[in-house]
Amino acid sequence: MSDILPLAVIGRRVEVSGECATVRFCGGVPPVAGLWLGVEWDNPERGKHDGSHEGTVYFKCRHPTGGSFVRPNKVNFGVDFVTALKKRYALEEEADEDGKACSLKVGCKQVQTVGFEHITKKQSQLRALKDISLSKCAVSCAGEKGGIAEACPNIRVVDLSKNLLSSWDEVILIADELRDLETLSLSENKLQFPLDSLTPPGTFSTLKILVLDKTGITWAEVLHCASGWPVLEELYLRSNSISISERPTDVLQMVRLLDLSSNPSIAENQLYLIAYLPRLEQLILSDVGLSSMHFPDAKTGCKTSMFPSLQYLIVNDNRISDWSFINELDKLQSLQALSCSRNPLTEGDKAETTRQIIIAKISQLKTLNRCQILPEERYGAELDYRKTFGNEWKAAGGHQDPDKNRPSAEFLAAHPRYQLLCRKYGAPEDEELEVPQPFMLKNQLLTLKIKYSNQLEQKELEKQLPDSMTVQKVKGLLSRLLKVPVSELLLSYESPKMPGREIELENDLQSLQFYSVENGDCLLVRW
């Protein structure tokens, strides 16, 4: 820290006693003598006023307690890139009276180098570094031209988060000397993005991953800068109060992942503007206040042309409370994975039921909330869905006879896949749709055949078992009947509704009901 101020101090990012701020004023503040800097704190609770003193407005803050006046010698304006690099990774040499290096400073420790010249040389080889983190190192500028390229020309990954960079132009100067740069994190640098600045050709020619969380960037600034990111594949824009105001044209065409989380100004209709990014495979929209989704170009049961490559959608921590949101997702032609945790629709004590309904509603889904959907789970979910809403289907005009099957448009809008599931598994029979009496054991018993697939001499049995009975308890019963250790038994079942298909009962803790075992099905036993 020094009394000597750098040029163009207004707008500079600074650190004062461990807190970051932006300089908004430089000058006198009568009646107190001397030079003062007016700063706006990142943490508004750190300040004392809004930039006014005794009725005079010296600068403006977004928060009434976001400002303070500080003396220049209390302010840290930061260091250049190479200085921070050397401080963190190596190697400040100190010379003895003969000018020969005699000690080495690594962090805060002083290390003697007598007899270890080769170690000193190895530790000083910043040029070999490829991945570096300078997070929280008070980096504020590129430094002397050519210095970065000379010190560390092979860097591919750089973390510059939580530093004192104040302008995108300074970022350009740094990147221009890192010709192999592939990943760059600039999170929590309050950057200015001048719309009249141009990125020199080739500056970001190899950049594939860019993190701009909490930088204050706008969507217009993203599109302006994106012309300099020709091969960018992943772009992170969390917590920037972004509103998507226009469609990307000739930019962001290579982006596979876009993270717009925690931008509460994003609305459903804004998503249409990014719906035709041709390679977008993963879209993260957590905590944006989203409650609905609609693809107007696709009718019920049809696929949308929007988001043609989208495979993974993350909409955690939103306001999704209606099943119409999930229905619309089945229109996405490439969707395979969905994460929708902590929404009103998925909260509560029926989480497992909700999961099964989502699986049944989205035909091509393979992963839900980071858990793989196995074929057996999909089979059970779709059968249960067909049965659960069977009475509603009949009341709306559904019928087992195809010539009489005319469910209402309202029912089809609420259950777009129901007709398809009926074609896949057959329409539900009346006895399936009888309302069970849950407190009577006889209404929960399943009559099942039991076959011993690899023991032909064993006779086929017929047993009545509760649908709540776990696979483990079924194995225990069979173990006692067959005098075979439980650990050697393997169970599966066949259903007359799915001829030729065998479903494994692989989880001992799940019930027969979980696997959608029904009356008349056949348990297959092997050991």
Please give the C-alpha separations between residue 337 and each of 363, 372, 373, 499, in angstroms, as whole numbers. Answer: 11, 9, 10, 29
**How would you write the pLDDT of the chain (527 residues) with one tens digit per residue?**
555 676 689 999 999 998 999 999 999 999 889 999 999 999 989 998 999 998 999 999 999 999 999 999 999 999 999 999 999 886 544 444 444 444 444 344 444 444 445 434 544 568 888 999 999 999 999 999 999 999 999 999 999 999 999 999 999 999 999 999 999 999 999 999 988 777 888 999 999 999 999 999 999 999 999 999 999 999 999 999 999 999 999 999 999 999 999 999 999 999 999 999 999 999 999 999 999 999 999 998 899 999 999 999 999 999 999 999 999 999 999 999 999 999 999 987 678 889 999 999 999 999 999 999 999 899 999 999 999 999 999 999 999 999 999 999 999 999 999 999 999 999 998 877 876 554 444 447 899 999 987 776 777 888 889 888 889 889 888 888 888 888 888 999 999 888 888 999 988 888 898 888 999 999 999 98
262: Cβ–Cβ under 8 A, 6 or more apart, which residues?
A: 238, 239, 286, 287, 288
Radius of gyration, alpha carbons of the chain: 33
| Alpha helices for 389-482 (secondary structure H) | 390-395, 409-414, 418-425, 471-482
Sheet with 367-368, edge to edge strand ranges: 131-133, 157-159, 183-185, 209-211, 234-236, 257-259, 282-284, 312-314, 337-339, 367-368, 371-372
Whether the link from the prior residue into 296 is cis, omega within 30° of 0, is no
Q: Are 214 and 191 in contact (CB under 8 A)?
A: no
Q: Return the structure tokens found at 348.
A: 């509560």
Closest CA to 496 of 461, 448, 458: 448
Neighbours of 114 (CB within 10 A): 7
Q: Are 161 and 189 in contact (CB under 8 A)?
A: yes
Q: Return the structure tokens found at 87.
A: 């401080």
